[in-house]
Amino acid sequence: MGSLRVPRRRRQPHREEERLPLRAQRSRLTDIRNLIARIAEAERGGRLGEVEGLQVSLAGAHRRPHHCIDAPAPSLKIHARHEAELPMLQFMRSVFVFPTGERAETVASLDRHLPEQRDPWTLDGNLYINIDDEQTGYLFSDWDPEDVAILEAAIGHHPTWAVEIDISGRIDGTAEVHQMIALLLEHGGVAMDDYTTHPWTLPEILSGAVIDGLRFFDFRGYHELHREHGRF
């Protein structure tokens, strides 16, 4: 069984991360500032597709590990400011999919169904699909260790890559997410959303199974449960 959670909880940095140079943190903050400026420019030009693509990049920048805890305040200020300036970002939702099989097989499947694009693949301009990993990306960098342990127990090993799907706040997204999940989990595997710690199988998702009061990607139910508990 899973449990209700605050979406995508961040772990505390390891001590060896705390000793990394401050320039790594400054570089990250510079990237965030540049992305915010580019988003504002695209919004002024009415380029909504570009806005959402940049928002995905901005969300990814915020998911990078905080390599130095000596300077958290600038990051928090930027986060608060971009939430005020870019209200659509807070409605972007994410799903992580861990398919059975090799990474190359998943890439080939995405290429067949969403041709002539990559990094990200997009579905109708509303879903942004990337493959993330631990070696060159940021997979698990902001996951709680308990969440990773639950995932490992469900699939029997520690996964080193995943398909990350970011869903636009302009749409409900449930049907589109189910469409992509059905493709990616055709041969097995699990998916995890922002709302429970449960690793969802394809039969559970398609049947509308309820775990801890929620279905898969049940963002509306999640917010209702939190209102009932006085958390919103």
Per-residue pLDDT tens digits of the chain, which is 232 residues long = 555 555 554 333 333 333 334 444 445 565 676 677 778 778 878 888 888 888 887 776 665 544 333 333 333 333 444 444 344 334 678 899 999 999 999 999 999 999 999 888 999 888 989 999 999 888 998 888 999 999 999 999 999 999 999 888 878 999 999 999 999 999 999 999 989 999 999 999 999 999 999 999 999 899 888 777 665 5
Q: Is 58 left (phi over 0), alpha (psi -120 to 50) or beta?
A: alpha
Per-residue confidence (pLDDT) for residue 200, from 0 to 100: 98
Matching residue, tokens 């041969």: 187
Residues 161, 164: Cα–Cα separation, whole Å: 9
Are 54 and 6 within 8 A, CB to CB? Answer: no
* DSSP reduced 3-state for 140: coil
Q: Which parts of the chain are beta strand (E)? A: 93-99, 121-123, 127-133, 161-167, 189-192
Domain boundaries of the chain, sorted by first residue: 15-228
